[in-house]
Amino acid sequence: MILVLAIAAGWLSGLVRSRIVRKPYRVPEISMIWLVLVAVFPQLLIFHIPYTAGWFSDTWASAVLVISQLLLLGFVWFNWDLIGFRILGLGLILNLIVITLNGGLMPLSPETARALYPEVPPSVWQIGSRPGMSKNILLLYEDTRLAWLSDSILLPEWFPWTRALSPGDLLIALGVFWLLAVEGPDKPTPQYNSPD
């Protein structure tokens, strides 16, 4: 949810900025959009739709997550000329590295899980298991490869949505914010030559 919030914040900032410079708000041109749909659709089935999530084992979930993120990296590569995509791509690479090194899912320590869901009994958090239909795997912090790249950043308790983030997630949020707030509004308007 915080990543969607970054999109909203970037868009609003872009709108305000376009008002200040008195130019219509424009978004950067993005190519190969279909690649995002192809990459994200399986993730929707496995991680976001409760009805279909049960059809897939954890092995499938981890394989699909890695392949899907590789496809998204391909999409970022095709749009590499935009700075926002470079920032976002770096975040994606960091997430992909820690996910791949830890068996295909994003590591989460039991301590972080307990902080996120204090009402859940601690015995529920079984090391090596995937909680619900999430992209996470519960691993002890000391047993996690490149643990500092995992979901180890906790946002303040007053924050209403998901509070555990990875450094890669922060870069992804910054990348989309940059794309919409900075790279959109000042894009020069195409000049058309009059036939006269």
Partner 1 sequence: MNTLIQKFSLAAGKVNRRHIQIFLVLLTLSMLVLGAGAPGMSGGIGGF
φ and ψ at residue 37, rounded to 5 degrees: -60, -45
The token pair that represents 94 in the structure block: 């960091």
Minimum distance from CB of 110 to partner 1 (Å)?
12
What one-character-per-residue DSSP string does 57-105 give? -HHHHHHHHHHHHHHHHHHHHHTTTSHHHHHHHHHHHHHHHHHHHTTSS
The helix (run of H) or strand (run of E) holding residue 161 is: none
For residues 69 and 143, which CB has a smaller minimum distance to partner 1 in the complex? 69
Minimum distance from CB of 115 to partner 1 (Å)?
9
Cα-based distances in Å from 57 to 47, 112, 134: 11, 24, 12
φ and ψ at residue 164, rounded to 5 degrees: -100, 125
| Beta bridge pairs of residue 178 | none
For residues 113 and 144, which CB has a smaller minimum distance to partner 1 in the complex? 113
For residues 20 and 88, which CB has a smaller minimum distance to partner 1 in the complex? 88
CA distance 40 to 69: 9
CA distance 37 to 100: 22
For residues 118 and 196, which CB has a smaller minimum distance to partner 1 in the complex? 118
For residues 120 and 143, which CB has a smaller minimum distance to partner 1 in the complex? 120
Minimum distance from CB of 56 to partner 1 (Å)?
12
Q: Summarize as ranges the residues that interact with partner 1 (CB under 8 A).
A: 1-4, 6-7, 11, 24-28, 30, 33, 36-37, 39-40, 43-44, 47-48, 50, 53, 65, 68-69, 72, 75, 88, 91-92, 95, 99, 106, 108, 112-113, 116-117, 119-120, 124, 131-136, 151, 162-166, 168-169, 172-173, 176, 179-180
Minimum distance from CB of 142 to partner 1 (Å)?
18
Minimum distance from CB of 80 to partner 1 (Å)?
14
